[in-house]
Structure 1
Amino acid sequence: MLISIITFVVLVALLYMAMRNSLIGKKNQVANAEASIDVMLKKRFDLLPNLIETTKSYMKHEHSVLTELTALRAQSHSLDTVDKPQQDKQLSAAVSHFRVAVEAYPELKANENTTLLMRSMNETEEQLSASRRSFNAAVTRYNNAIEMFPSNLIAHQMMLTTLPLFEIANTERINIDAARLFKQ
């Protein structure tokens, strides 16, 4: 009888430790995925000044787009986890406007430096997209673990709360009219 009680207590303790360690692991996976996004955002922010300087002479009247990109880049260094998704949406929209502006200048598109920088920017955006997907997968696993029974009891004791996913801006949800693009 005493052995079965001790066995039960040991099993409960092991289960508790396993669930607690799993929650900690999931929390750390989210932090790692967020750091990967930060690396890609840093790469993007480091590319922006080069793109801006290269295109300034061609785009004097597109000053508002360049100013917005510069301001968003400056703001990004003091953000916490909750503000990053919103900042990312704003910067993605500004980069999209920048690309459209660059497309309007054939002589700028022909510039070798601009072409190289735009390729680098596209590669960075693809890597950033992959990092966002990884982050969302880690956040989903984490949120599931802290909301599902019985690990939710331990999560509550650890004061863990759900985290938001990275989501695209509403303007990016609109389908592109490819036919219109070819009529220009």
Structure 2
Amino acid sequence: MNKKLITIGAIVAFVALLVIWSVSSYNSLVTMDESVSTSWGNVENQYQRRADLIPNLVNTVKGYAAHEKSTFQAVVEARSKATQMTIDADNLTPEKIAAYQKAQGEVGAALSRLLAITEAYPELKANQNFQELQAQLEGTENRISVERKRFNDTAKEFNTKIRKFPTNIVAGMFGFEKRPYFEAEEGANKAPEVNF
């Protein structure tokens, strides 16, 4: 009788430990999954900050370079397209991130063309409002880079956790899936050509 109690006690203790470990693993995965979603929200927030700066920048440049209408239109269209694109953090896929990144890249390219125009207008470059907007835009671009890196770091931590044994068992049971990363844009490995 005593051996049966010890055996039953050992089985109950093992099951209890297994349940505690499973709950702890699940809660840890939920926390990490939420961290990935929060990081994605921070990335979107910085892109929105950039989008919010664009109208002021365009209007400031317009006052000095009214004949550059096609460039202004390209910036406005790229901004419009990028701000219409939203991705739910729970449904991130590599394809959706690539499409989002492409739309944001088009905004960046249009902004580069807009800022290149300013070289022909020294009075614009000296304008205090333009200088402040340009500084805010540069700061925002840096923030975007930082938030993208943080997103990738958070996704990597989560992806590593769901693939490691024995947590991968809990992750598989509850449907936790690998989160995609931001990747370098196509052609980013090539240095730009500079012609004088």
Residues in 1 aligned to 2:188 and 2:121: alpha-carbon distance in whole angstroms: 23
In the alignment, is residue 80 of structure 1 matched against residue 87 of structure 2?
A: yes
Structure 1 residues 16 and 33: CA distance shift in structure 2, 3 A:
same
Q: TM-score, length-normalised on structure 2?
A: 0.79
Structure 1 residues 59 and 163: CA distance shift in structure 2, 3 A:
farther
Structure 1 residues 42 and 26: CA distance shift in structure 2, 3 A:
same
Contact 2:85 2:100 in 1 (8 A): no
Aligned amino acid, residue 29 of structure 1: S
Residues in 2 aligned to 1:171 and 1:97: alpha-carbon distance in whole angstroms: 18
* Displacement of 1:165: 1.3
Matched with 1:8 is 14
Matched with 1:137 is 153
In the alignment, is residue 63 of structure 1 matched against residue 69 of structure 2?
A: yes
Structure 1 residues 174 and 42: CA distance shift in structure 2, 3 A:
same
Deviations 1:108-152 (A, max 9, x none): 212221111101111111112111111111111122222333222
Residues in 1 aligned to 2:46 and 2:9: alpha-carbon distance in whole angstroms: 55
Alignment: residue pair count: 180
Structure 1 residues 59 and 172: CA distance shift in structure 2, 3 A:
farther
RMSD (Å), alpha carbons: 2.3
Structure 1 residues 104 and 151: CA distance shift in structure 2, 3 A:
farther
Aligned amino acid, residue 147 of structure 1: R
Per mean C-alpha deviation after superposition, the further-off stretch among 134-143 and 71-80 is 71-80
Q: Name stretches of at least 5 consecutive residues in structure 2 with no aligned partner.
A: 1-6, 89-95
Matched with 2:164 is 148
Residues in 1 aligned to 2:188 and 2:29: alpha-carbon distance in whole angstroms: 33
* Displacement of 1:21: 1.0
Q: What are the within-5 Å matches in structure 2 for residues 23-102 of structure 1?
A: 23-75=29-81, 76-81=83-88, 82=96, 83-102=99-118
Aligned amino acid, residue 38 of structure 2: N
Contact 1:19 1:154 in 2 (8 A): yes
Structure 1 residues 136 and 2: CA distance shift in structure 2, 3 A:
same
Larger Rg: 2
* Displacement of 1:40: 1.2
Residues in 1 aligned to 2:23 and 2:10: alpha-carbon distance in whole angstroms: 20
Residue 184 of structure 2: which of 168, 171, 175 is its match?
168
Q: Name stretches of at least 5 consecutive residues in structure 1 with no aligned partner.
A: none
* Displacement of 1:84: 2.9
Matched with 1:123 is 139
Aligned amino acid, residue 124 of structure 1: T
* Displacement of 1:12: 1.1
Aligned amino acid, residue 153 of structure 1: I
Residues in 2 aligned to 1:139 and 1:8: alpha-carbon distance in whole angstroms: 33
